[in-house]
Structure 1
Amino acid sequence: MNLELRNRRALVTGSTQGIGFAIARGLAAEGAHVVVNGRKAESVEKTLARLRAEVPGAQVEGVAADASTAEGAQTLFSRVPSVDILVNNLGIFEPKSFFEITDADWMRFFEANVLSGVRFSRHYAPGMRERAWGRILFISSESGLQIPQEMIHYGMTKTAQLSVSRGLAIELAQTGVTVNAVLPGPTRTEGVQDFLASLARAQGVTVEQAEADFFKSARPTSLLRRFATPEEVANLAVYLCGAGASATTGAALRVDGGVVNSIS
C-alpha cells in the first residue's frame, strides 16, 4: 500500500528510542521528512545517524529540546514552524504505590504526558486545517482503559489523552485533519527492558522468567503473552498517518496484544 507520505513533514516527540524511534523510522521509510526530538543533543545526533544508516536516503533532522515543558515546546516551534503530521509520543512512566505519589509527581506526569500533546496540537493543528490535510496521533496506552494498580498516575494521563484526542477530532471535523489515539500494550522498549532486568535481579530469576511472571500476575488478560516490539506498534501508527486512513478519526485504536478484555 502506498501511504502517500513522500515529502510530508512529520514531527515525532520523544523519538530517540522505543516506540517513538520506530515510528520515526517507519515514516522516514515511507518518504516523509521526519523531525526527531529528544532532550539531549547527543542522543538526537545518534538517532539521526542511526536513521540514516537504517533508512538509506532518509530525510531527517533533529531538535534537542525538552518537549514536556513550555520552554522546550517553544524551541521546537521556532525550529519547526509547521508540520503535516504530528505524533505526540513523548511520555514517562514509573511504577509507584499510590500512597507514595506526591503532588509534584502528579503534576510532572500530567505536564509530560498530557499538556505536551495539548501544546503541540494547539500550535500545529491550525496550519493543518488551513491546508485541509493533516494527521495528529496521541500515543496513549491500554493503561488508559485498564488503570494499572502499580502506576495510577500514569494510567490517569493515558485516559486524559483519549479525551483530548477525541475532543480535538470533533473540533477538526470535516477539515481533512484526522486525530486518533494509539493504545499500545506492554511493549519491549529500552525502559521496559531495564525494568525487567531490575525485576529479575530483585527476584533472583532470569529475565525470561520475570517476563512470564509479569504476564501471569500483572497482565493476565494478554492474548499475545509477550511484549510487543516497538515496530509492531509503529506499523499501526504509520498507517494512521497515511492517505489510506483518511476515514479513521476520533478513534482509539489498540495494538495491545489483546490485554484489554473487551470487544470494543
Structure 2
Amino acid sequence: MNLKIKGKTALITGGDSGIGIETAKFLVREGVHVILSDKEGGSDLEKAKEEVEKECADGAKVLTKAADISKNQEVIALADYIEKEFGGAHIIFHSAGARGAAGDFLTLTDEDWKETIEIDLMGAVRVCRAFIPQMQKLNWGRMILVASENAFQPYEEESPYNACKAGIINLSKCLSRAYSKENILFNCISPAYIETPMTDAMMEDLAEEKDISVDEAVKWFVKNKRPHIAMERRGKPEEVASVVAFLCSEHASYVNGTNVRIDGGAVESAFG
C-alpha cells in the first residue's frame, strides 16, 4: 500500500524495541527517513537500526539519537538534531513510556506519582512542544501519541499510569483543535497487553512469583487479569504498528483528535 509519505521524516521515541521498531519498519518500506530514539544509546539502539535498515526502500535513511524524555534539554537537543539533519520532522510516533510505580493506592508516594508523570505525561508534553514548531514550518505533520486501555478501563494497582494515559488522550484532543488548521493532525492509539519489553518484564516477575513458566504466566494473566480480551492472547507489535503507519499517512488526512483502540476486545464497554 502506498501511504504517500515517501521522503518524509519520522521520529520514533521508544524506538529500540516493540511497537516502536515495528512501526519504523513499516515507515522505511514507504521511503520515510526514520530517527530511532530511546533513553539509552548504545548497542540496543544500534541493533534496532541494523534491523530496520534491512527493510529500507526508496532511499530511506535510518539514524539514531538517544534522549531521555523526562529531561527537557535532551528533548530540545533531539529536535535540534533532526532539524539539522533533515530540516525537521513531519511525523512523530511517541512510543516511549513506562509502567511506573504500581501497587495499592495508599502505598504510593508523591515521588512515585511524580516519576510516572514525568515520563508518561510530561514526556509527551515535551515532545509535542519541541516538534510542533517544526511541523508548522513544514506545513504538514502527524503526531501519534500512545495512550492505553487503562485510560478507559483502569486497573486498581496502576493508578498513576491510568491517570497519565487518560491525560494523553485529553492532550491529543486539545492539540488537535489548536493546530489542525496548520495541517498538523494529532491522534492517539490505545494498545492493550502487547508483546513488548514492558509486558515481558511483568510476565517474568509473575512467573517468578508463581513459580511457573513465562508462557504459563501469560495464560494465567489473560484469564485472571484481562478476562475481557476476546482474542485470549497478547497482541503482536506489528498489529499495532500497522495502525500507526496508517495514521501517519496521507490516507488518514481526515482522522484527527481521535483515539484508536488496538486491544483485542480488552475494553468491556462498547463506548470506552
Partner of 2:180, secondary structure, is coil
User: Partners of 1:55 and 1:229 in 2: how far apart?
Assistant: 21
Partner of 2:10, secondary structure, is strand
2:265 is the alignment partner of 1:261:
no
The count of residues paired between Structure 1 and Structure 2 equals 264
Matched letter for residue 148 of structure 2: S
What is the Cα deviation at residue 156 of structure 1?
0.8
User: Partners of 2:77 and 2:165 in 1: how far apart?
Assistant: 25
What is the Cα deviation at residue 134 of structure 1?
0.8
Can you give the 5+ residue segments of structure 2 that lack an aligned partner in the other structure? none
Structure 2 residue corresponding to 1:77, chosen from 56, 76, 79: 79
2:14 is the alignment partner of 1:8:
no
- Check whether the contact 1:51–1:58 (CA below 8 A) recurs between aligned residues: no
2:53 is the alignment partner of 1:47:
no
Structure 2 residue corresponding to 1:225, chosen from 209, 224, 232: 232
- Check whether the contact 1:68–1:90 (CA below 8 A) recurs between aligned residues: no
2:30 is the alignment partner of 1:30:
yes
- Check whether the contact 1:33–1:60 (CA below 8 A) recurs between aligned residues: yes
2:73 is the alignment partner of 1:64:
no
Q: Determine the structure 1 residue equivalent to 2:242.
A: 235
Q: Tell me whether 53-62 or 212-221 shows the greater mean CA deviation.
A: 53-62
User: Partners of 1:31 and 1:246 in 2: how far apart?
Assistant: 19
Structure 2 residue corresponding to 1:250, chosen from 257, 263, 267: 257
Q: Determine the structure 2 residue equivalent to 1:91.
A: 97
- Check whether the contact 1:14–1:67 (CA below 8 A) recurs between aligned residues: no
What is the Cα deviation at residue 188 of structure 1?
0.9
User: Partners of 2:54 and 2:177 in 1: how far apart?
Assistant: 40
2:189 is the alignment partner of 1:182:
yes
Partner of 1:240, secondary structure, is helix
User: Partners of 1:162 and 1:86 in 2: how far apart?
Assistant: 16
Instruction: Provide TM-score, normalisation by structure 1.
Output: 0.94
Structure 2 residue corresponding to 1:146, chosen from 147, 153, 156: 153
Q: Percent identity among equivalent residues? A: 30
> What CA RMSD, in Å, does the superposition of the two structures yield over aligned residues?
1.6
User: Partners of 1:49 and 1:97 in 2: how far apart?
Assistant: 41
Matched letter for residue 11 of structure 1: L
What is the Cα deviation at residue 126 of structure 1?
2.8
Can you give the 5+ residue segments of structure 1 that lack an aligned partner in the other structure? none
